[in-house]
Structure 1
Amino acid sequence: LLAKTRSLVASTTLALDAYDLPGAASEIQLFIDALNNWYIRRSRDRFWGPEGGGQGDPEAYDTLYTVLTIFTRIAAPFLPMIMDEIYGGLTNGDSVHLTPWPSVEELPEDSGLVQRMDQIREAASTALRLREDAGLRVRLPLTSVTVAGKNAPELNEVADLLAEEINVHNVILTDEIGDFATMTLKPNGNILGPRLGSDVQKVFVAAKEGNWSFLEDNSIEIAGHILESDEYDMALEPADPTTTASLKSNDAVVILDTKVTPELEAEGSARDLIRTIQQARKDADLDVTDRITVEVSWSPAEIDAIKNHEPAVMAAVLANQISWLPGDAEPNVKLTKS
């Protein structure tokens, strides 16, 4: 996160020096997404401490404080009053508008790690979109996801984050796209039409049939014509769009194994039960550290397989005991404080 913040300081400084206000605002917006939807959300256990006991990780707090104080200084020109309020609440000091502009020298540099994290976040978003399109809820675990393409094996150190984020058991990384997708040529008709006239149709047909070749200067030879780099786009076309999608970088694809086995369905049902019990805890206004006894009335077809996940359910909801009773197709839970 500190390296990502350094990147934010560098990019916004460069944009503002060039009077590129939309560019700087875009960098700030993208950073907020990374900070809020990834670091803060994924670090909640570090902030809350074990079982929400309040003894959080001092390093997590220190990192977040450092990032927020720098971020408020970066965003102050765009949101002057809000950033001033936030900065004052963090530091109990002078106005944010009286502080110096942040320097990249205040933060560590690791552009490789930033790039890998950006790619893993995009892979997660792509996989979740494939899940949604397939009608598979996030709490239902899947067997695997494959990231194939340029630099994919370098994601190994952050692969566990992807597995947790999209709820899969295995992450496969390979630089071989193979049969997952093919690179297709997209001629720009708006540019080529005036230049080639009726021949532009021949170019479109040849592109569709794959009858073209790259030249050394990144131009393309097709249908007796040469296309310059600004006259075409390249796109990865998934072989199976229902399970495969390309990243925005257009050099890698995500392939989601959407086959659901009875074992995965049972594990997903156990996770649904955890969500039901947690909601019941909230409705009962229990403290986050309270231990409970749970009575579950539930009779789905796979109840025996679901019971195999009882230790995981108990650990997740802080239950000392779970009693299983006959019930309906949907779980009905009763809690008592232990």
Structure 2
Amino acid sequence: MVSSPILRGGNLSIDKEGKEIQKSTRKAILPLWNAYYFFTIYANADEVKAKEISCSSDVLDMYILSKLKELKEKLTVAMDKHDIVEATTLVEEFLEILNNWYIRRSRQRFWSLKEFGCEAFDTLYTVLINLCKMVAPLAPMISEFIYRNLTGNESVHLENWPELAEIQIDNPLISKMDFVRLISSNAKAVREDNKLRNRLPLQSMMVAGEGVDKLTDFFDILKDELNVKEVKVEKNVEALAEKFLYVKTPLVGKRLSQYMKVILAASKLNQWELNADGTLAIAGQTLLKEEFEMRLVLKEGLKGQALPDNTAVIVLDTTLYPELIKEGMARDFVRAIQSLRKEKDFDVSDRIALIIKTDNEEVKQAITEYKEYIMEQVLALSFEFADKVENENSFEIGEGLVFADAKVV
């Protein structure tokens, strides 16, 4: 209820199915629980005793710690003003970043304690216990449960509001990583528009326009996140797109209705000039900043889109090369085996033996070529093709049908 339209002076319709209540659960309660559940699964499996930290050697850790401190500062202001709507919005946005960026991008570090150490566990622990303190006034029951289970302390409601004095906000890092996230979400939209599943590798992505220097240190993250082999940047956006003047006719019409015809005609002929103060000179008139937009339109034949603020464009090479198709099949196979592990209720640390059968030579070749990658991803100690598979499970890979079974070893 505290995040509902009621606190904005609006109405809230309560349906019999409780969909509005479920919506709030999806936005805040479940994301917080999922983060806690993820932490406990891997911390308990490796018997990790996590501790609070203020810094880390990993860039993703430093990013989420900076976002945590940023949340604390903004949330303090919102709560002091009794702006519950703003407070709940801030928490929801942070939980989105925590689950769908930090945890998802850091999974490998939780799986491989010996290789990566405890920094990821310590970071997530720090985030969770301080987040519980912050959301306690908004979600008292779940924050109490999580906090007590993580710390063993009496109650989150007996704790002071967090200070996080030792955590320093890295604003340049926040700016860069937020831009990386923006590029990622828009590039995924391009994939979706072109019906290219995320597990299918692509050769390259080009980003052109303002701010591309922010991406330089994060090429590896982008390549992994977007499943592309190469990331390229270009400062000159006109190498990939053309600028298009969009006149907001409702606004301009109210002020300059008698000049609308000549203004629109001049805009189509690109007879305009941007002024130093951000206004636009066109057809002997001056348009205010809010009366027009400079939009970017990709050049013909390119597959991509402009960022929402039209400061840069993203272009994907959507050519389906044979090697990329085979790698995509291998990734599809990994996804299928991971689903099989869940169906069989295997523990996250269980090592398995895989038996596979397929009559499709292209699929068989792809699985064979990427055997080591597949075994690493699904925690397989053995891997073999057979003419017959007991307790077979079937799934489609590419144009072929694959039968497989997995057993704990």
TM-score (norm 2): 0.74
What is the root-mean-square deviation of aligned Cα atoms in Å?
Answer: 2.6
Cα deviation for residue 2 of structure 1 reads 0.8
Structure 1 residues 306 and 81: CA distance shift in structure 2, 3 A: closer
The sequence identity of aligned pairs, in percent, is 37
* Residues 15-94 of structure 1 mapped to structure 2, 5 A cutoff: 15-17=78-80, 20-49=83-112, 57-94=117-154
Q: Does 1:222 align with 2:282?
A: yes
Q: Say if 1:149 and 1:176, in contact at 8 Å, map to a contact too.
A: yes
Cα deviation for residue 108 of structure 1 reads 1.4
Q: Say if 2:243 and 2:296, in contact at 8 Å, map to a contact too.
A: yes
Structure 1 residues 234 and 84: CA distance shift in structure 2, 3 A: farther
The residue number in structure 2 matching 1:179 is 239
Amino acid at match of 1:204: L
The residue number in structure 2 matching 1:10 is 73
Q: Say if 1:180 and 1:244, in contact at 8 Å, map to a contact too.
A: no
SS in 2 for 1:330: strand
Cα deviation for residue 232 of structure 1 reads 2.1
SS in 2 for 1:117: helix
Structure 1 residues 64 and 240: CA distance shift in structure 2, 3 A: farther
* Residues 93-112 of structure 1 mapped to structure 2, 5 A cutoff: 93-103=153-163, 105-112=165-172
Q: Say if 2:179 and 2:214, in contact at 8 Å, map to a contact too.
A: no
Amino acid at match of 1:330: L
Rounded Cα–Cα distance in structure 2 between residues aligned with 1:253 and 1:317: 36
SS in 2 for 1:235: strand
Amino acid at match of 1:147: V
Structure 1 residues 145 and 311: CA distance shift in structure 2, 3 A: same
Instruction: Pick one of 188, 191, 196 that aligns with 1:128.
Output: 188
Q: Say if 2:329 and 2:366, in contact at 8 Å, map to a contact too.
A: no
Q: Which residues of structure 2 form unaligned runs of 5+?
A: 1-63, 389-398
Residues matched between the structures, number: 335
Q: Say if 1:299 and 1:329, in contact at 8 Å, map to a contact too.
A: yes
Worse overlay, 156-165 or 234-243: 234-243
Structure 1 residues 77 and 305: CA distance shift in structure 2, 3 A: closer
Cα deviation for residue 17 of structure 1 reads 4.5
Q: Does 1:321 align with 2:382?
A: yes
Cα deviation for residue 231 of structure 1 reads 2.1
Rounded Cα–Cα distance in structure 2 between residues aligned with 1:240 and 1:28: 42
Worse overlay, 167-176 or 281-290: 281-290
Q: Does 1:330 align with 2:401?
A: yes
Q: Say if 1:299 and 1:326, in contact at 8 Å, map to a contact too.
A: no
The residue number in structure 1 matching 2:318 is 258
SS in 2 for 1:258: coil
Q: Say if 1:144 and 1:171, in contact at 8 Å, map to a contact too.
A: yes
Structure 1 residues 315 and 235: CA distance shift in structure 2, 3 A: same
Q: Which whole-Å deviations, capped at 9, do the CAs of 1:253-272 have from their partners, x for residues lacking one?
A: 21111111111111111111
Rounded Cα–Cα distance in structure 1 between residues aligned with 2:145 and 2:350: 35
Q: Which whole-Å deviations, capped at 9, do the CAs of 1:164-212 have from their partners, x for residues lacking one?
A: 1111111112322233223322222222112111422332332233221
Cα deviation for residue 81 of structure 1 reads 3.5
Rounded Cα–Cα distance in structure 2 between residues aligned with 1:337 and 1:95: 41
Amino acid at match of 1:22: V
SS in 2 for 1:105: coil
Q: Say if 1:134 and 1:242, in contact at 8 Å, map to a contact too.
A: no
Q: Which has the higher contact order (CA 8 A, sep 6+)?
A: 1
